[in-house]
Each structure stands twice: as C-alpha cells, then as structure tokens.
Amino acid sequence: MPLDHYVTLGRSGLKVSPLCLGAMTFGLDWGWGTDIADAQKIIDAYIEKGGNFIDTANIYTKGHAEKIIGDHVGRDPARRDRLVIATKCTGNLFPGDPNGGGGGRKSLVAAVDESLRRLQTGYIDLLWAHFWDQNSPIDELMRTADDLVRAGKVRYFGLSDHPAWVCASAQYEARLHNWSPVIALQIEYSLRQRTVEGELMPMARELGMGVTPWSPLAGGVLTGKYTRNSRPEEGRSTSSWINPSDRDYRIIDVLVDAAAKIGATPAQVALKWVQDRPGVTSTIIGARTMKQLEDNLAALDVEIPDDLRADLDEVSAQPQAFPHDFINNVKTVVQNGTTINGEHRDVWELAPQNDAERH
C-alpha cells in the first residue's frame, strides 16, 4: 500500500495516510531528538511521498515541536490545508498551575489557543486528549471538545491513552447529547505490547474509533539493533522500555528470522505487522533521521506470508485480563458443535447428547 493510498479515520470522513509522521522528536529541547533543519527535511520528504498526517502534542520538546511544524508548514496556507495536523492537550507546561493541564474546560480551551499560536494555523484537524485526567468529568471533556469543534478551532476529536471504559463512556456522552464523537484512539501497540487487544481494540472497532498505534517499534527494541548477541550497553537505562526481557528476545529472534526470509528489515516487518492488525488505521512512525524515515515508509511494501505472521502472532501472544481467556475457553459451551463466522467448536461433552438426555 503506497503512502498516498489514504484511509478514512474511524467513523468519519477524514482521510489520512496509512503511516502517520510523529513529531515527538522534533527539537533538541529535551536533550535529544532532531534539530530544526533535519526535522524540516523529514517533513518535506514525508509530504513529497504523499503523506498527509502529522501528529504532535503541546508538551513535545516543551512546545517546540509544534512551533517547528508551524514555522515550516503551518504559516503556509497552501501547504497547511493539504495536511491533517493532529496535536494533543491535557499535558501541563506550567509548573505549579493545577489548571495548566488536564481535561477541564479552562485547561482545554487555553491549550488549544496556545497550540494554534505555535502551529500558526486557524484550526487543528484532530485534537487528542493526551492522557486520562481522573480529576475531570468525562462529560466536561466531551462538551468542551464539542464547543471547540463548533467554534471552528478543532475539526475532529480523539482520545489517547485512556482506559476502554472511559472511551466508551465518552462516546456515549457524545451520542446522548449529539456532541462531536470520538473518531480515533491513540494507544501503544506493537509485537511487544498486545494487552490492548483485550479491551481497547474491540471497543474501538465497535464504537467507530480508528486506531493510530504509537511506538510500534517499542522504543527501538523491535528494530533489530538489540539481539541476544548485541544487547544494550550496561547502564544505558534501567528502564524495561530500553532493556529487553526474555520474552522480548524471543520475539526479536522470530522477527529477525522473518525479516531475513522476506528480504526486509526487522523494523519494516514489525511496522507492517501492526499496520495489518484489525482496527488499525494509521500507524505513527517516529523517525529521527532521514534514513529511519525511508526505512519505515518502505514497510508499506512488505508482505508478510501467513506462516511467518502466525509465528509472530504465537511468539508475541500475551494473556489478557479476565474475562477474556475465560470467554474464549467457554466458546464450546456457547457454540456446542457448530461453526459460526468460520470458527468451529466441538460438541460440548457435558451437554445432552440426545433428546432423551434433555430434561
């Protein structure tokens, strides 16, 4: 699938590229990342290849990521209007100010105005609530989002990193009051992180939210640079985010082998695996260099054979929270010797086996 074969995001008419350019690394204000000149080149290369979806946040590199986008494309109406620019609110840039972040009306309205100023545009195509603010009512969040849409400052609204039950509650608040709905869900999803398949992914498909996974390469763990024979330098980080676990190395073994068999890089296979998952609309890539961007974009040309996909599915499988494993195990009780939607279950041995046994 080429980058310019666009897909609709969730239950909406918004068309986006199948790979989204993440801008978290734009700017050196956190002590690492991509300088302004290279960030501009990456944006240009992504657009030239047909990409139209750029994702950032108010807090990324202390607001500088938004400004880099604004300086380069936001101030140019001819370029800006062809792009889908997404940014996030709820993150707090103001130490000591309890209303500097979160899901309350005061915070949301101020955050949008500040993002519009940095992005140098009159509207945000997709506004994400970045994190769940447990101290703000969900109806206040959704009513404020609707007001921002009606005011023309925001076109669409999405949720990032919220529990499934909160997302469902938000969507039904919107339906009940005829407010703008949640059209998209941004969550961590990769071969390394599959627990989202229990609640978040089926919820998103049922309620019309297109999924845009973040960190599909698990912070670089799934790029192939770490193997059993090439581990992270000792002391580089004590975080499990960087230091692979035994499970991670099992996944990496299969990933590297699959990539070698089809002539792709491990990163490309890992990206394509995520992009092919049911419910995924546009996967966020976070390229810091032009080489990384080119490698990531080439993932769209990769075809993973069924046998290798099955190997990846098996090695990366994760247990799900109750009741998911239980429900799967009792499908025999529900189907009792029938095939439904292509899935067959044997006869339940404790059921009556004939009319004479049925009371």
> Which residues are identified as catalytic?
60
User: Contact 86/127 with Cβ under 8 angstroms?
Assistant: yes
Long-range pairs for 319-325 at CB < 8 Å and ≥24 separation? 320/195, 320/197, 320/198, 321/195, 321/198, 321/199, 324/198
Strand-pairing partners, residue 124, are 154
59 alpha-carbon distance from chain centroid:
17
Q: Give the neighbor-by-neighbor strand order of the sheet with 53-55.
A: 210-214, 182-188, 154-160, 124-129, 84-89, 53-55, 19-22, 283-285
User: Contact 84/14 with Cβ under 8 angstroms?
Assistant: yes
Neighbours of 78 (CB within 10 A): 7
Residue 213 parent element (H or E): strand 210-214
- Smallest Cα–Cα separation from 57: which of 134, 152, 127? 127
CA angle centred on 121, ends 118 and 126, rounded to 5°? 90
